[in-house]
Structures are given as structure tokens and as C-alpha cells.
């Protein structure tokens, strides 16, 4: 079993930065990812990291967001730069059992945090 608890969501102005954190309890996972869901929209996978370090980004955040883990793999981070109003959403940390192939599909993830809200004002 893996438990995930996100933090770091806030309200920021467009162009600003935020870092989301996720405490990861347990190691029964093959992949960790960040997802987001805006009101009225489907949940979108935006970044994932496999246990061996392979990283995948959605085109919508590539070059602006960075996913990382600390050395002890206790924390999962999402550094978000150059934020846009369209980044406004609830952000979720998630874990999947299998690390290959790397996935940004929510159906491949079985562990979910409760979410943290990010609001970007223009």
C-alpha cells in the first residue's frame, strides 16, 4: 500500500512559480505521477517518473514544469514555472504499480492523494 499527501497549492499571478510536494509513504509502486483536473474537464496526466528515473511530460507543461524526487524517495515534487491561467486546477499526486511503459493515463495509477488547489490569475 502507498499513501500520498500533497501540499503546496496556492493562488499566484500568471508568470509566477510554485512547487508542489507529495509525501510518499510505502514503496510498492513502479511509477509516480502528477495529474490535474480543472472544473468541467477530464483529469490530465502532466508528469511522471519511473523508479529508474525515466521522466515523461505532457506537451502542455514541457519546458515549464519539472518533476523530481528527493534522494530518499520520500518526497515527490513538481516545480511549476511560467504559470498560466490555464494551469488552474486541482493537482493530484498518484502512484502506479508498473513503471513500463511510462504512462500519463490515470487508468494506470491506483494510488491517489487528496489533491491541492492551484489557482493562477492573469
| pLDDT tens per residue across span 49-79 | 998 889 999 999 999 999 999 989 899 999 9
C-alpha grid cell for residue 34?
502528477
Whether 107 has a pLDDT exceeding 90, the answer reads: yes
Give me the pLDDT at residue 87, please: 98
Give me the pLDDT at residue 101, please: 87
Strand partners, 41: none
Give me the pLDDT at residue 51, please: 87
Let me know the angle formed at the C-alpha of 56 by 50 and 62, rounded to the nearest 5 degrees. 150
pLDDT in tens, 76-105: 999 999 999 999 999 999 999 998 889 999
How far apart are alpha carbons 63 and 45 in whole angstroms? 15
Amino acid at each position: 500500500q502507498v499513501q500520498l499527501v500533497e501540499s503546496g497549492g496556492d493562488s499566484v499571478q500568471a508568470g509566477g512559480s510554485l512547487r508542489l510536494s507529495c509525501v510518499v509513504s510505502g514503496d510498492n509502486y513502479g511509477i509516480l505521477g502528477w495529474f490535474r483536473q480543472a472544473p468541467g474537464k477530464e483529469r490530465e496526466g502532466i508528469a511522471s517518473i519511473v523508479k529508474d528515473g525515466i521522466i515523461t511530460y505532457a506537451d502542455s507543461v514541457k519546458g515549464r514544469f519539472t518533476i523530481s524526487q528527493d534522494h530518499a524517495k520520500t518526497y515527490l515534487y513538481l516545480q511549476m514555472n511560467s504559470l498560466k491561467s490555464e494551469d488552474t486546477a486541482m493537482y493530484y499526486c498518484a502512484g502506479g504499480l508498473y513503471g513500463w511503459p511510462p504512462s500519463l493515463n490515470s487508468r494506470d495509477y491506483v494510488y491517489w492523494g487528496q489533491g491541492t488547489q492551484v489557482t493562477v490569475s492573469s
